[in-house]
Amino acid sequence: MKTKSLKGTMLLAAMLVSFISLAQNRLIINADQGDVRINKHIYGHFAEHLGRSIYGGIWVGPDSDVPNEDGYRKDVMQALINLEIPNLRWPGGCFADEYHWTDGIGDPAERPKMVNTHWGGVIEDNSFGTHEFMNFAKKIGTEPYITGNVGSGSVVEMSKWIEYINFDGVSPMAELRKRNGQAEPWGIKYWGVGNESWGCGGNMTPEYYANEYRRYATYARDYGGNTLYKIAGGANNWDYNWTEVLMKNIPLEMMDGISLHYYTVAGTWENKGKATEFNKEEFLETLRKAALIDELIKRHGTIMDKYDPEKRIGMIIDEWGTWFQVEPGTNPGFLYQQNTMRDAHVAAISLNIFNKNADRVHMANLAQTVNVLQAVILTNDTDMILTPTYHVFDLYKPHKDATLLSHDLKSEEVGFGKEKMEALNVSTSRSADGTVNISIANINPDKKIDLDVVLRGIDAKTVTAEYITAPAINSHNTFENKEVVKKAAFKDFKLNKDNLKISVPANAILMVRVK
């Protein structure tokens, strides 16, 4: 009797363990609930005059041996067209507050040169200016987002730049634009009033910047039926006082967005760690730090809610991403770093969090597009590679302008010591045609996770999926081997009525689409 009793107890215990294991990794999606749109501009990008971002990355000039169209690299241009980027921020960054736009118009041979004091002390020849940027944006089908110079510029300088770009009648700046070959105004919408004014943009106090913003924004006028979306230079990381002062001192009708900058650093600012050489503990610590953006959004958002309960003012996270040591042998001021599966996970976690907070987060810009920090594209003289981060943005395209869905996730944990994180990180949305989009990152580098998905409010018939994964957490693409990390079809799932079982590979990021 005791033996039978013991066997029964062991069987019950095994069943309980099985049940707990199942419950640990369970996702319930309410496909018929949701009224917040995930703004496509959350998937924006950033190209600063920094290192080889513009010169050699986007622009090589019409006389270059690199295949180009009107001076723009064809390979980079096509890759960005395929990625369908919604907006591109330019010319900075720190560079924006030492950039004088009149130096970048007219005959390129006559444009004055300057020293890029922020980034490497190299010569900036201004061959890539307003016309080159606006034409590039048109070629790749993206909206321009320009940051104006508050730090070393003037109100009249910024006002005239907006007039040059947007005025549709008779004015000195409109006539100058026409003489430079652009008859019609570009009608730009997104305009940043300075950048990092607490630091490289002028080392201002929040009170001083708030007053300066009011002055500059007064003369940042709307022309020809075009309405500017004005973005105030917001806080860095945990500087909640900066947000409080700006929200209190700037009339809400004078701004449409307020920025927030947050970089994920593996180590410290003095020792940021290497981009490709790291262990499992450093990998998980980096992802833990990336996930802190959720706390920042909530805390800055709470301050914004006090003054703007309707959430009309957008939180604009226009600089985010990883920041590691530069690659050996490269100019320290060029911020060139490789891009691994760790970066891909940072991108997936960050985008999932932005989606979750889409009622407040209206735009975000990865730093940066080509050859700088967490780039989606790396180039050398004549060749190009797509990074793991590129493939995450490619996977996540269905989330753009989709409806954020309510979901409940229970996930097992992974970590080291007392630092633990959920191994699965998820975002769910519904496209206009009713397709449910499920993005899933499994940050456990060693373990496949069986996820039980309950689909409510949808009569599911078909499932398709794609993913990226790699043998190691530091796997990355090189010019010698471009497809170590790439997007591929995923088939390890099973649909049974309202239940979808997915075997999520270790160290993988998926996009599952159910219809």
**What positions carry a catalytic annotation?**
196, 319
Q: Evaluate the CA torsion angle 312, 437, 427, 191 in order and state its sign.
A: negative
- The encoded tokens of residue 101 equal 């736009």
Distances in Å between the alpha carbon of 457 and those of 33, 35, 228, 454, 464?
8, 14, 39, 10, 19
Name 95's Cβ contacts closer than 8 Å, sequence gap at least 6: 48, 49, 50, 116, 118, 119
Q: Evaluate the CA torsion angle 192, 196, 198, 204 in order and state its sign.
A: negative
Separation of CA 323 from chain center: 14
Which residue, 88, 93, 430, is CA-closest to 233?
93
| Contact present, 296 and 237 (Cβ < 8 Å) | yes
| Contact present, 185 and 177 (Cβ < 8 Å) | yes
User: What three-state secondary structure class fits 275?
Assistant: coil
| Contact present, 399 and 354 (Cβ < 8 Å) | no
| Contact present, 198 and 209 (Cβ < 8 Å) | yes
Which residue, 250, 256, 407, 393, is CA-closest to 320?
393
* DSSP calls for 383-412: -EEE-HHHHHHHHTGGGTTPEEPEEEEE--
Alpha-helix runs per DSSP H in 250-357: 280-291, 293-307, 341-356
Name 436's Cβ contacts closer than 8 Å, sequence gap at least 6: 29, 31, 405, 428, 429, 430, 455, 458, 460, 513, 514, 515
CA distance 404 to 430: 7
Separation of CA 132 from chain center: 23
- The encoded tokens of residue 358 equal 């889409």
Name 143's Cβ contacts closer than 8 Å, sequence gap at least 6: 41, 86, 87, 88, 137, 189, 190
Residue 365, φ and ψ in degrees, nearest 5: -135, 115
* DSSP calls for 482-511: TTSS--EE---EEEETTEEEEEE-TTEEEE
* DSSP calls for 66-117: S-EETTEEHHHHHHHHHHT-SEEEES-SGGGGG--GGGGSS-GGGPPPEEET
**First-residue to last-residue Cα distance in the chain:** 53
CA distance 263 to 499: 38
